[in-house]
Amino acid sequence: MAVFYPNNLGKTHLVLILRKTYKGVHSNQIGFPGGRVEPEDESLEQTALRETEEEVGIPRNKIEVIKELTRLYIPPSNFWVQPYLGFMQETPTLIAQESEVERILEVDLDHFLDHSNFVTEELSTSYASRMRVPAFKLNEQIVWGATGMMLSEIREIFRKSF
């Protein structure tokens, strides 16, 4: 769930998370709140809302889902992801889920839209070394891969809207 909301000064922000370090391909990476479907989820949208509430503390009934984004496949983890774009009218109280979230990142919309924050980085992962990848540099963090692809789609939506 890509959630945009006003901060205490009225500036629009986006929430991302830094995942905990664990044995897995997405360890210590930046991503959106989200996760696997659970039996109680009635839809993928409900999964995204539930996971957002669990991982960053935003009540699911406070998020207005605006758009379903492009579904994408993530080869390293063999998952299909269905992202959503959401908005809140109020400033949330963000609370990191201790077991899964190392840190919450609040990204200013102007910073996100600034073209100078779209970069190319050389990265090494658990499954490849010295890859040159397109990425975003947001809050001094490199955001790439599936999250970067979702951010690119969101950026294009904003570009076409304004």
- CATH for 114: 3.90.79.10
Domain total in the chain: 1
- Residue 122 banded pLDDT, cuts 50, 70, 90: confident
User: Which pLDDT tens digit goes with each residue over 22-56?
Assistant: 565 545 689 999 999 999 999 999 999 999 999 99
Which residues contact residue 138 at a Cβ distance below 8 angstroms, ignoring those fewer than 6 apart?
Answer: 16, 30, 105, 107, 111, 112, 117
Q: pTM, whole model, 2 decimals?
A: 0.90
DSSP 109-161: HHHHH-GGGEEEEEE--SS-SSEEEEEEEETTEEE-HHHHHHHHHHHHHHHHH
